[in-house]
Every structure is written in C-alpha cells, then in structure tokens.
Structure 1
Amino acid sequence: MDPGVYTAFAALNLKGELVASGCEKEASDERVVEIIRKVGVPSLIASDVNPPPSFVQKVAARFNVRLAYPVRSLTQEEKKTMGSFIDDVHTRDAYGAAMKAYHAYENRLRQIEGMETSLDRDLLKHMVVQGYSLHNAELMLTRKEEKRVGAEEEKEVKKEGLEHKRDERVMRLAEENVNLRKALEYEKARIAEMEEQLKRAKNARVGEVARDSEVRKLKERLERAERYIFFLKKKKRGA
C-alpha cells in the first residue's frame, strides 16, 4: 500500500504475480479494506517506507495479518526498477512495497509449491507468511482436515490420546506465538512512527530556536543602528 492524498494498492498472489492494482483519491481505511476484500484474503499488508504510516498499520490490524516494511525506506530508483511497467507513481510505490515483502518469503513459498502434499498449498503459504513454521502449519491444517471429514474419532488408546493432546498444545502455542509476533510488529511500527514524529518535532523546534536566535540578533542590530542614528542626529544638531 501507498497511502496519501492518492492511496494506491497492488495485490500479489502467493506466486508473486500482480493480480490487482489501483489508486483512489482521499480513500479512507474503510474504503481500502473494502477494495482488498473484493480481491481476496490478504496474507500480509506491506509498506514501502520505514516507519510504516499509521494508515497502513490500521489496515493490517483490520485483517489481523502481519505488517511488512523494509529495514530502510525504498528509494524511488528501487521502486522504479521493480515496477518499470507501471506508469502511475503511487501504484508503482505500492507494487514496490508488495514485491519487497514477497521477496522476503519467496524461497519458503517456492519450497511449499514444490513439495508433495495433499494439503491446500495456498493455505500452507498463508500460514507460513503469518509466522507459523511449516511443520506447525501442516499439523494444524491436517487436524482441521481430519475434523472436516469426521476422522477425529480416535480409538481409546492412551498413547494416541497423549499424542493428540501434545499436538493440540503445540498448535495452541504456535498460534499464541504468531499472535504475539504480530502484536510485537505492530508495537515496533508504532514506536518507529512515534520516534519519527518526535524527530520531526525536534527538528522543527531546532529550526524555531535558530529562527528565534536570528530574529534576536537582527533586533539587536536594529537597536544598535537606531542608537547610532540617534547619536548622529544629536551630533548634527550640536554642530
């Protein structure tokens, strides 16, 4: 996403292919959420700048997905290279954010694409992007599939019961870990944004202090000049 007066979005599928993009003037977060929902269920929301804008944080929180942003803000040259086929600069920025995030997961997504499994690969990819390990993602999806087909009626065997409880605990801990990671990412992004705002405020204050100092110096020079003019006028009258 690239928010602003013109808010742009670029949606990639889990193969890194652009499936939708657009740009709207003065789009609210509600409007952006509506647009994204029409495209599909997001695995993450990405920003091209660090710290990510609060608008992007808000949209990610609405979908309860991870927020991706670069270690350093992407340059215009980087975004132009990635999205050279996109004319609109705002949409290109959004595409750059999406591609940067995709590249961070590309190897793991390719691994899932090439593996032998009866599970839904897109769901596996979605969960891995959300922060689950591949093992835990497979375990959770397998359990869900077993419940769906009614295969969870286990025999009254203690060992199987213990294994089931252990797996349930692993899944619960994995889910808690992912939720904690999301919360941590949101807090990091929020703190980074506040630090940036504080930095701008300090710079503005430094500028004000510098201007105040300059004004004070000018006033002193003016007063000296006025005193000198008064002295010259007095001297002239005495002459």
Structure 2
Amino acid sequence: MESLILGIDPGSTIGYAVLDLDGKLVKLDSLRNSDLNKTVSKINGLGKVVAVGTDVSPVPKFVDKFASNFGAKIIEPKNDLQLRYKKKLTKEYLKDKNIKVKNKHELDALAAALVAFKHYQPLFNKINNHLNQINKEYLNKEIKNTVLRKEIPIKRAIDES
C-alpha cells in the first residue's frame, strides 16, 4: 500500500488533498457536512497516510484525531499560513496541471499538503541522491515508504529491501 501525505482543512465543509511521496496529487476534494469517520473512509482506500498537514497552528482537534486514526505524524506551520502564501504555493504547484481548486477548503487543504511535503523534501532528496549513487533508483518509492513508516535510516532501509 502506497504511503501518502494528506492536507486537511476541517469545518462544516472538509477539504482534503492527498499527495504521494513524489509530490503527485492523488486526490483533491471537499465534503459537506461530513464527520471524522466518513472522511477517514473516503481517504482510507487511497493508501496509507503517514503525514497530515494543517494550515493553522495550533493543530485543530479534528486534525489531531484524524492523524491518530491513521497513526500519522502531524506537520504544522509555526504560524497560520497566510492566504496570499497559500494562493502562491498552490498556483505554482498547479501551473502545468489541468486541476481546478473548487473552493477555499480545497485550497487550504492543498496548501497544507504541500507544506507537509516540503517538510519531507530534504529527506526525499537525500534518498534520491543515495539511490542514484548506488544505481538503485528503482527502489525510490519503497525506500521512502520504509524510511517514513519505520523511521529508520536510509542505509538500513536499503539493506532491508
């Protein structure tokens, strides 16, 4: 099952954005009048959520419960993300993609997912560089999955693969 990074915007309309560990958008959607269980079941079939991003600090209770439901880490900003920053970040990400953000909730969720992805990007770059050096680029997803899920060093993840 593929590891995923989730951005979530709780409220009466819940926005969520799901990225794979290469930063590719898997799903962007919003649910009106949903609850924790319905939202979890919508996302559950997509893969294993290993990190949940939020666009506000402190972390909302819904996001906290959601992350614990998946056993995922929470990535929160030091301060609330400003709307201007969220628009810039998402516009840049979507510029070459034929994807429409339908509402504010999806925008917030996508921004949260992108911030969480950027949090892990240095680690992912290290993994990519390490695999390139040993000509094992084909292990990219597997090693990223293993390092994030088991929280083990890159070399050990490669040795165990």
Instruction: Give TM class, smaller chain.
Output: 0.7 to 0.9
Aligned counterpart in structure 1 of residue 127 of structure 2, from 99, 112, 116: 112
Query: Cα RMSD (Å) of the superposition?
Result: 2.0
Q: Does 1 or 2 have the higher relative contact order (CA < 8 Å, sep 6+)?
A: 2
Per-residue Cα deviation, 1:106-138 (whole angstroms, up to 9, x for no partner): 122133234133884323213434543323433
Q: Say which is worse superposed, 121-130 or 104-113, in terms of deviation.
A: 121-130
- Structure 1's 138 and 89: CA in aligned 2 closer, same or farther, altered over 3 A? same
- Structure 1's 91 and 74: CA in aligned 2 closer, same or farther, altered over 3 A? same
Q: Do structure 1's residue 128 and structure 2's residue 147 form an aligned pair?
A: yes
Q: Do structure 1's residue 45 and structure 2's residue 52 form an aligned pair?
A: yes
Aligned to 2:28: 21
Q: 1:73-222 counterparts in 2 under 5 A?
A: 73-84=80-91, 85=94, 86-114=101-129, 115=131, 116=134, 117=136, 120-130=139-149, 131-139=151-159, 142=160
Q: Structure 1 or 2: larger strand share?
A: 2
* 1:13 CA displacement: 1.0
Per-residue Cα deviation, 1:5-63 (whole angstroms, up to 9, x for no partner): 10010001111121211001121111111111122111211111111111111111111
What amino acid does structure 1 have at the position aligned with 2:32?
K
Q: Is the 8 A contact 1:105 1:129 kept in 2?
A: no
Q: Structure 1 or 2: larger helix share?
A: 1
What amino acid does structure 1 have at the position aligned with 2:119?
A
Higher Rg: 1
SS at match of 2:27: strand
Q: Distance in 2 between matches of 1:12 and 1:137?
A: 22
Q: Is the 8 A contact 2:127 2:140 kept in 1?
A: yes
SS at match of 1:15: coil
Q: Distance in 1 between matches of 2:120 and 2:137?
A: 22
Per-residue Cα deviation, 1:70-102 (whole angstroms, up to 9, x for no partner): 111111111111123524111010000010111
What amino acid does structure 2 have at the position aligned with 1:80?
K
Q: Distance in 2 between matches of 1:44 and 1:95?
A: 13
Query: Structure 1-normalised TM-score?
Result: 0.54
Aligned to 1:7: 14
Aligned to 1:31: 38
Count of residue pairs the alignment pairs up? 141
